[in-house]
Structure 1
Amino acid sequence: MNATRFSIEGMTCASCVGRVERALSGTEGVTKANVNLATETADVSFDEQVDVKELVEVLDKAGYPARTEEITFDIQGMTCASCVGRVERALADVEGVTEASVNLAAETASVKFLSGVVTVDQLVDVVAKAGYQAAPRIDRDAAPVNRKEDEARALKGKLLLAAVLTLPIFLVEMGGHLFPPLHHWWMMTVPEWAWRYTQMALSIVVLAGPGHVFFAKGIPSLLRGGPDMNALVALGAGAAFLYSAFVTLWPLAVPEGAQNVYFEAASVIVTLILLGRWLEARAKGRTGDAIRKLAGLRAKTARVERDGVVVEIPVEEIAVGDVLHLRPGEKIAVDGKVLSGESHVDEAMISGEPIPVSKAPNSPLIAGTVNGEGAMTYVAEKVGADTMLAQIMRMVEDAQGAKLPIQSLVDKVTMYFVPVVMGLALLTIGVWLAIGPEPKVAHALVAGVAVLIIACPCAMGLATPTSIMVGTGRAAELGVLFRKGDALQGLQGVKVLAFDKTGTLTEGRPEVTDIVTISGDENELIAMVAAAEAKSEHPIARALERAAKDRGLMLPEVGKARAIAGHGLKADVEGAALHIGNMRLMTREKIDTAAFEAPLAALADQGKTPVLVARDGAPVMVIGVSDPLRPTARAAVEALHARGIKIAMVSGDTERAARSVAAQLGVDHVEAEVLPKGKAKIVETLREQFGNVGFVGDGINDAPALAAADVGIAMGTGTDVAIEAADVVLTKGDPAGVVTACDISRKTMGNIRQNLFWAFAYNAALIPVAAGVLYPAFGITLSPMLGAGAMAMSSVFVVSNALRLRRVKRAL
């Protein structure tokens, strides 16, 4: 099974989306086609026997061609014509390349390829596999392209031209209606026939120039039997113009009462819809800010050790294992590990936290983050598409291109919407011609054109995808990655969130929390214990070492040391026999345990793990060790409760320890002593008891539960297996991110519902008004010009409403 993403040209409304989906889905071998109006993309899954070029032809025939790009490469290593043929064939065989031309004299290759289907990096790799080196001729310092800005710029030029040509017609015609003396003065000054010919000439330029796009795309779609929004505009403006031109050229052929012209309607319709498209393109350009910001984080070059010399090279040429030199203030080029030096790194783009993170040898570094004041060297571990930044960009792009279940309603409506509107327009004209007042033809034309213009389904098509784009983009900025778009809708319906305890609600590593000294000097004993535990691999040993380090203690020399499995260890430290372990060790070594009993009971009540210490056979210290709660865990639980979500905690710890943690957090439901394979079963039990379940985890053993839950949420600090099984990833290991994810889900879905209500209510309310249902009772009709303005503003409203999601804040 193959899958690819096309970038589509020419889509303007929801009916276009349905048409493209039907064309692709109807192709033999295509198993799934998902088209997104906001991103102007089509995600297609298809069998092995389907060729991408076949799908490109299908899109061309449907009237929505796949967008292409062109790039020129400098090729090294070519020496003869056979080299040229080899490089050309290698490039032409790449799925998604439509044309490849290699020039031996210039040592260049010009390649035309489908946007989104193949990347420049892939083309470079293909040439390298053929035995040559390719370097793209691009401005590496250029900002990421915002195609919508370019589109808005082009539309602005068309709009200005249309407005300049339309303004004289509009001022004279509409000014005459609003101020009758102006109309009388104009009629006495300028012959009517001359003014009509002037209007016709100006309208021809408007329709053939700025308005050409509506006819170039609308008429072919009409002839193919799949009319779209362009067809509605072309029919509406075209009908107004043709009728007016007929009246102007052959006035005697038209009844005297019907000799009105509507050149101003045709011109103003085009101008207003261009205005709407320009505003929409400007607004839609801002919906992709998240991806462009992420792309802008990438470093362009890096200083790399090559043959003992530090050279500056493009990041595309960095290989795994390269040693890189990092100066203060520089961006980190690839994911890696610090070899030498110390500094602080701003990782806000990953974690959302403004506080720089301390880095020392062996600390991980993430591509796109910014170094502070220290200089470091680091080794490249992940490059290119494998870096965390590249993976985050892919996750955001996938989520933004997703189609939510709620979109199916829109798809069903828009599939029939444009043909139904055209039918209503014809019915409106027929009714006005049959029973309307004189001049019947004029009234029928105005009403029919108004219905065509006002009913454009642009707002319907934009309602869902623009909100998804902005919502998931803002989520990424706040450290929440929706790997699957439908999780955006699923999360708002979650009734209970089950948290794995260790590493999710807790830090995931034991720390010394209590020290009870029975006899002797506390610091001296801690130093002796840490020294004895230094060679142990047990996590508690690391906690004891950290406790000594935090106090700045010097560790004494250790003589013989022996670990006793399941009990602890014995060691000679500074001439003293030290026993460190549990009660079983003390009983085995026949040490009097009476002095241990009170501290043990206190720690047991708190669910903490006790470490007993005896020196020369006498009890001297009890150390309490536990996995501390994350700082935001309790606040996150309280915030989720406030949002009506119940909280469950799943733990492999003892019942007593788990309930102690649950009591501190205010958790509603506790499942303790759960084996890894039992977590998925717990999810099913919670679903039966409460409803839709979200599961939050970070470990390999959480993967089955993450997959079984209605929505799986993985900590980004967790394992790759857990992240792959999850629907949502929190880039920072912070339970507060779960609250942010829930807020973004609810606000985005609320935004979508607002958009859909506006889009449907607008059409439902104004189509009858445009058809003239208010005329018999109130004498009210809707001008096609007002219809064009209302239609344009409905799309702008939907996109602007979606952009409000950019203001969503972090929950805690």
Structure 2
Amino acid sequence: MERKLNKLDGVRASVNYATRRATVELDTHAHVADAIDAVHTAGYAAAELSEQAPAVNEDSATAKALFTRLIVALALFVPLANLSVVLAVVPDLRFPGWQAVLVALAAPVVTYCAWPFYRTAVRTLRTGVATMDTLVSLGVLAATALSVYSMFSAEATSTAGQGVWSAIFSSDSIYLEVAAGVTVFVLAGRYYEARARAQAVQALTALAALRATDARVECAGDTTMLIPLAELKVGQRLIVLPGETIPSDGQVIEGAASVDLSAMTGETTPVQVSAEQGSTAVGGTTCLDGRLRVEVTAVGDDTRLAEMIALVDSAQTAKARAQRVADRIAAIFVPCVIALAAATVVGWSLTGASWEHAVRAAVAVLVIACPCALGLAMPMALVIATGRGAQLGIFLKGHAALELSGTIDVVVFDKTGTLTNGQPHVTGVYTVDDDSAELILGWAATLEQHTSHPIATAIAAAAGPQSLAAPVDEVVTDVGSGVRGVIDGVKVQVGSPAWIARSAAVPAAIDARRTDIERSGGTAVYVAADDAVRGLIDIRDGIKPSARQAVDELHRMGIRTFLVTGDNAGAAQRTAEQVGIDDVIAGVLPAEKVAIIDNVRSSGAGVAMVGDGINDGPALASADLGIAIGRGTDVAIGAADIVLVRDDLTTVALALQLASATRRTMRTNLAWAFGYNLAALPLAAAGLLNPLIAGAAMALSSFFVVSNSLRLQNFARIDR
């Protein structure tokens, strides 16, 4: 299917075996209908993805259908196998028509129960492609034909019995139980895979289930009306009552409540939101108590919940680099196995062996070589890892994030909003001459309303809404440094001391106060008017409770830590001492953060950047691995490889540990898948394996890969 789609002009496709989904990208001149036709030509069904998140109903239905066939096959296989072995060991027990009884028991198994294998094999053969279903189908049909011949041969009608072990394990002992047994084992493996796929995307389904179906919107005359969620518009005002799901993202404009974020972030402690705090409401979370009035700021695919669903869906359907290598191997593996089976027949014939023995050995080769384990080795581990990550509040934008996480030697932290709470507050305003604190704070707030930095928010909150009414012109923002403009004809600058000192005179008293503030771990903001500093604002922000534990965890993992911030050296050093960070680089502009990361990387170290602000976007994109705090700006989230929804820095180490556990699982899966085939194929070709045992071994190899991958669902925290 993938090859068919990629042959189309302007179409790029990637098929994931674990999720059984294809991701298809089309250029503007390409048509969806052509892509769907190509899929139908390849023998598969296709449809455009709906706007709603994908569900696991298809996998559940597949599992149910396979389970029905498996039960039928198993119910008939048990008496069939017992009769076959007993009649082979004790020929005297053979009764008139025993062959017909065995055929009657086997017929439903090799027809109805094995039908999914035949159907897929025929579909793919129409396109000139041989798959694992081709091997299974050839094996079952060949074993059936050989069994029927064997039962009516002179050997089967003789009275010379075989030993029990010979009857079960010998490659010369073959009746219909082999064809039925292979069908049972493969069906069991497929059923287990289908169940595993459904479990692997449970996190995605759980996120999709968080969506509300309708919203209670305000109408004229203080009335409300329930409308479908799809009709909700930005700017409408919602009423959310206790116990209800918040329909969409918005700003709390009235009321206070405890909100349960556990399903989305993994945090079990409810979060308090209120209009007084300027809180935002996140769609898909639950209002536990209180009544909220919310103004909608995002709907549909623009909501935080939709973004998280898209991240998980993209990560689960994407294909890792190592998986693409495994796919290329699997593509040539099936034709090679068919060639080996043919060579086995020729080889045994040249040695003078009977053609029955040669065909039995070839059947064993076909059955045991089914590359199901190889096809599942990578995607199953990756799909389950992304699902488990979502449950822990770790959203991977793609499988590349897992691959890159294994190269990390250094983690670089931003300070404001990352290591600190991101809720700085004004603790003091200092002025010169006769200027009032209200004037200085008002000037600063008027300019800072044009930026989204947490410090700007703190200044605006301290000044109050009345200070924002003054007219302002010629506003220019110097990212990472400050902002300047004209307020009532006065040229005002607000920003870092170093930036303002380049163009404005700094009184000695102000400079001395700045030194004291920075030594005590605060942040000083200068306010200048007409080329002279007129005041200073003292800003403080608390350290996140999880910061120290997160840094200690990284150190235990052997990872070096840096604090790179645009803040002053005193505040940066104080923060680093509080959380235990190794190296500090302060007074850094956004562009310089990129240069610092490149410099660290030049020594051969893999670098991860953790940030949340608009200033961190370039650094997050430049690092080997970008990690954004989920409540950060759209720029930071857009540039990152991993998004942490929980405001808990220990998830940084947890994300790296999850990646490490996933890589180990993938390596184990691949080693087993390749090692199993390398060891089993020569034994089968040498005629040392009964096809029945070969079928069991093949099914067990897939069982091992899926079971090994499912262990990631229990991942919590390692290397403690």
TM-score (norm 2): 0.82
- Say whether residues 1:444 and 2:358 are aligned partners: yes
Instruction: Select the residue among 779, 783, 788 that pairs with 2:690.
Output: 783
In structure 1, the residue matched to 2:318 is: 402
Report the CA distance between 1:322 and its aligned residue. Answer: 2.5
Report the CA distance between 1:261 and its aligned residue. Answer: 5.4
Report the CA distance between 1:765 and its aligned residue. Answer: 1.5
Report the CA distance between 1:25 and its aligned residue. Answer: 2.0
Instruction: Select the residue among 273, 297, 303 that pairs with 1:387.
Output: 303
In structure 2, the residue matched to 1:211 is: 114
Task: For CA contacts below 8 A with separation 6 or more, give which structure has more relative contact order.
Answer: 2
In structure 1, the residue matched to 2:142 is: 239
- Say whether residues 1:764 and 2:678 are aligned partners: yes
Q: Pick which of 496-505 and 302-311 moved more.
A: 302-311
Q: Aligned in 2, Cα 1:225/1:266: closer, same or farther, shift over 3 Å?
A: same
Q: For residues 109-120 of structure 1, what are the structure 2 equivalents within 5 Å?
A: 114-116=47-49, 118-119=50-51
Report the CA distance between 1:307 and its aligned residue. Answer: 4.1
Report the CA distance between 1:252 and its aligned residue. Answer: 11
In structure 1, the residue matched to 2:471 is: none
Report the CA distance between 1:203 and its aligned residue. Answer: 2.3
Aligned equivalents of 1:357, 1:329: Cα separation in 2: 14
Over residues 623-648 of structure 1, what are the superposed CA-to-partner deviations in whole Å (9 max), with x where a residue is unaligned?
97533322222221121121121112
Report the CA distance between 1:201 and its aligned residue. Answer: 3.1
Aligned equivalents of 1:800, 1:736: Cα separation in 2: 28
1:749 partner amino acid: R
Aligned equivalents of 1:42, 1:697: Cα separation in 2: 33
- Say whether residues 1:295 and 2:208 are aligned partners: yes
Q: Aligned in 2, Cα 1:602/1:639: closer, same or farther, shift over 3 Å?
A: same
In structure 2, the residue matched to 1:201 is: 104
In structure 2, the residue matched to 1:281 is: 194
Report the CA distance between 1:171 and its aligned residue. Answer: 0.9
In structure 2, the residue matched to 1:424 is: 340
Query: Which segments of 5 or more consecutive residues in structure 1 lack a partner in the other structure?
Result: 1-19, 68-113, 122-142, 516-527, 550-562, 569-582, 613-621, 776-780
Report the CA distance between 1:414 and its aligned residue. Answer: 0.8
Over residues 511-563 of structure 1, what are the superposed CA-to-partner deviations in whole Å (9 max), with x where a residue is unaligned?
47899xxxxxxxxxxxx9899968962788987999999xxxxxxxxxxxxx9
TM-score (norm 1): 0.73
- Say whether residues 1:152 and 2:52 are aligned partners: no
SS of the residue 1:325 aligns to: strand
In structure 2, the residue matched to 1:56 is: 36
1:50 partner amino acid: A
Is the 1:530–1:544 Cα contact (8 Å) retained in structure 2? no
In structure 2, the residue matched to 1:661 is: 575
Report the CA distance between 1:339 and its aligned residue. Answer: 2.8
In structure 2, the residue matched to 1:454 is: 368
- Say whether residues 1:800 and 2:707 are aligned partners: yes
SS of the residue 2:289 aligns to: coil
Is the 1:436–1:443 Cα contact (8 Å) retained in structure 2? no
Q: For residues 664-703 of structure 1, what are the structure 2 equivalents within 5 Å?
A: 664-703=578-617
Is the 1:703–1:721 Cα contact (8 Å) retained in structure 2? yes
Report the CA distance between 1:330 and its aligned residue. Answer: 1.0
Q: Aligned in 2, Cα 1:244/1:720: closer, same or farther, shift over 3 Å?
A: same
Aligned equivalents of 1:379, 1:158: Cα separation in 2: 53
Report the CA distance between 1:672 and its aligned residue. Answer: 2.1
Aligned equivalents of 2:673, 2:580: Cα separation in 1: 43
Aligned equivalents of 1:736, 1:681: Cα separation in 2: 27
Over residues 21-54 of structure 1, what are the superposed CA-to-partner deviations in whole Å (9 max), with x where a residue is unaligned?
2222223333x32211111122223333322222
Aligned equivalents of 2:703, 2:105: Cα separation in 1: 28
Q: How many residues align?
A: 652
Report the CA distance between 1:810 and its aligned residue. Answer: 5.6
Q: Aligned in 2, Cα 1:427/1:310: closer, same or farther, shift over 3 Å?
A: same
In structure 2, the residue matched to 1:135 is: none
Instruction: Select the residue among 246, 250, 266 that pairs with 1:352.
Output: 266
Q: Aligned in 2, Cα 1:505/1:250: closer, same or farther, shift over 3 Å?
A: same
Aligned equivalents of 2:460, 2:143: Cα separation in 1: 85
Is the 1:450–1:771 Cα contact (8 Å) retained in structure 2? yes
SS of the residue 1:701 aligns to: helix
Q: Larger Rg: 1 or 2?
A: 1
Is the 1:247–1:254 Cα contact (8 Å) retained in structure 2? no
SS of the residue 1:302 aligns to: strand
Aligned equivalents of 1:349, 1:144: Cα separation in 2: 17
SS of the residue 1:652 aligns to: coil
Q: Pick which of 792-801 and 306-315 moved more.
A: 306-315
Is the 1:529–1:544 Cα contact (8 Å) retained in structure 2? no
Instruction: Select the residue among 638, 642, 645 that pairs with 1:731.
Output: 645
SS of the residue 1:495 aligns to: strand
- Say whether residues 1:644 and 2:644 are aligned partners: no
SS of the residue 2:395 aligns to: strand
Q: Aligned in 2, Cα 1:250/1:504: closer, same or farther, shift over 3 Å?
A: same
Aligned equivalents of 1:694, 1:220: Cα separation in 2: 46
Q: Pick which of 297-306 and 680-689 moved more.
A: 297-306
SS of the residue 1:337 aligns to: strand
SS of the residue 2:177 aligns to: helix
Q: For residues 78-477 of structure 1, what are the structure 2 equivalents within 5 Å?
A: 114-116=47-49, 118-119=50-51, 145-176=56-87, 180=89, 183-184=90-91, 186-187=93-94, 190-191=95-96, 194-222=97-125, 224-247=127-150, 262-308=175-221, 309-361=223-275, 362-435=278-351, 440-477=354-391
Report the CA distance between 1:660 and its aligned residue. Answer: 3.3
Aligned equivalents of 2:350, 2:156: Cα separation in 1: 20
Report the CA distance between 1:653 and its aligned residue. Answer: 2.5
Is the 1:247–1:260 Cα contact (8 Å) retained in structure 2? no
Aligned equivalents of 2:203, 2:145: Cα separation in 1: 46
- Say whether residues 1:23 and 2:25 are aligned partners: no
Over residues 272-307 of structure 1, what are the superposed CA-to-partner deviations in whole Å (9 max), with x where a residue is unaligned?
211221122122211111111101111123322334
Aligned equivalents of 2:390, 2:461: Cα separation in 1: 34
Q: Aligned in 2, Cα 1:433/1:670: closer, same or farther, shift over 3 Å?
A: same
Is the 1:396–1:481 Cα contact (8 Å) retained in structure 2? yes
Aligned equivalents of 2:622, 2:494: Cα separation in 1: 38
1:405 partner amino acid: R
Report the CA distance between 1:603 and its aligned residue. Answer: 5.2
Report the CA distance between 1:221 and its aligned residue. Answer: 3.2
In structure 2, the residue matched to 1:41 is: 21
Q: For residues 543-622 of structure 1, what are the structure 2 equivalents within 5 Å?
A: 587=509, 604-609=518-523
Is the 1:403–1:465 Cα contact (8 Å) retained in structure 2? yes
Report the CA distance between 1:459 and its aligned residue. Answer: 1.0
Is the 2:92–2:159 Cα contact (8 Å) retained in structure 1? no
Is the 1:428–1:447 Cα contact (8 Å) retained in structure 2? yes
Q: Aligned in 2, Cα 1:379/1:626: closer, same or farther, shift over 3 Å?
A: closer
